[in-house]
Amino acid sequence: MSLSRRAFVQTVGIGAAGAITSSLIGARGREHAIWSTFETPLFAADNPIILASNENPLGPGEKVLNAVRAAFGPTGAPGGRYPFSAEGEVRDAIAAHFTLKPENVLIGTGSTQILRTATQVYTSPSRPLVGSIPTYEECAGYAETITNAPVRGVKMDSNLKLDLGATIAAAKGAGLIFYCNPNNPTATAVGGKDTRDFIEKVNRSSPNTTILVDEAYYDYVTDPSYETMIPLAIQNPRVIVARTFSKAYGMAGLRIGYAIGHPQTIREMANWESGGSITVLALKAALVAINHDPAYLAAERARNKAARDFTIKWFADRGMKSTDSQANFLFVNIGRPVTGFRNACAELGVRVARDFPPFERTHCRISIGTMDEMKKATEVFGKVVAPATAAA
């Protein structure tokens, strides 16, 4: 089975998706417009609990919101100016945060622009894309529709983690490996040593292959063996790390992310981007967010872990096992087709994620909301699974 968006759409028989792309400044954005078929309208009147797109349910902190409000100031304020100089200011702030040089950083509209650019630069009809099945399909969609690159899908291992050995084998001659860690939708993560060993082996067996390490969920990881690949990326031209403000920072609706890499790699990607695609509002927010007190992210990680642990236990107590989640969502074996479960939950005011082939008949991805939301959601889950359990 292909890991691409096109194959997914063909599998479930969806027509052209709606074109709604705007979203709230806070946490309740969209994972991608193509999946709006499965999600509630953004301004829905029924106020559902949205557990579909892996957002921070609290949104950005007050300091970030104040920066956004200030950008709406009177005539002549930043909101009325083009954002070119502000992009440089944010790039410099990100570099300073990680003790890097500005030439190690490229900013973009969420992770989306970074993933698209990497696919454009490093894949072609003769340079395939390699990715896991399932994983976030953004790069695969661009490979098929923009660069006409072949897409090589690699199945997950028995623990629903990235199969590193099979990926190394598939990578020979490839242009780009999309390495989502923690992986979306399975929520599992690969430890730092194993990831470094994997990259070294790819560098040896396929030296012209670039590895794009997507660390969108980095701030939610609690496994002590996990490590960022940023130190490796700034030294190795064949490694790129993608980060985003859309998850733990609660800025999904503002659309801003960044890549970190070797100066040569960043230059190659920057040649595809003319700049000016990020709004002043997002830039002002990112400038404040990147300088947040570390306690902000620590508190968000703790909040997520508590609600995540509660939800995992709720399912486990009913015989439904989740993967080892290292993100702000679960991938849980509900033992039945997800379509029926999703539709029944939606009728009761809870929205869970779309299907993820080839696990659409067993596993559901459920984003983690606030503890109060998860308690209310599990009450709904109990009502939905109880009739099926009784029938079985």
| pLDDT score of 34 | 38
∠ CA 243-167-242, nearest 5°, is 5
Write the burial class of residue 375 (CB in 10 Å: 0-12 exposed, 13-18 middle, 19+ buried).
middle
63-289: CATH topology is Aspartate Aminotransferase; domain 2 (3.40.640)
220 and 301 Cβ atoms separated by less than 8 Å: yes
Longest dimension (CA), the chain: 66
- Return the C-alpha torsion angle 238, 109, 88, 282, nearest 10: -150
Cα–Cα distance for residue pair 342/249, rounded to 1 Å: 27
Cα–Cα distance for residue pair 256/156, rounded to 1 Å: 29
**257-261 and 239-244 as β-strands: parallel, antiparallel, unpaired?**
antiparallel
How would you write the pLDDT of the chain (392 residues) with one tens digit per residue? 455 444 433 333 322 222 222 233 333 333 433 344 444 555 454 789 999 999 999 999 999 999 998 887 765 566 667 777 789 999 999 999 999 999 999 999 988 999 999 999 999 999 999 999 999 999 999 999 999 999 999 999 999 999 999 999 999 999 999 999 999 999 999 999 999 999 999 999 999 999 999 999 999 999 999 999 999 999 999 999 999 999 999 999 999 999 999 999 999 999 987 677 899 999 999 999 999 888 999 999 999 999 999 999 999 999 999 999 999 999 999 999 999 999 999 999 999 999 999 999 999 999 999 999 999 999 999 999 986 554 45
CATH number of 5-60+294-391: 3.90.1150.10
Quick: pLDDT tens for 207-257: 999 999 999 999 999 999 999 999 999 999 999 999 999 999 999 999 999
Domains 5-60+294-391 and 63-289 in one fold:
no
pTM for the complete prediction? 0.89
Cα–Cα distance for residue pair 37/15, rounded to 1 Å: 10
Three-state SS at 120: helix
263 and 238 Cβ atoms separated by less than 8 Å: no
Report domain extents, the chain: 5-60+294-391, 63-289
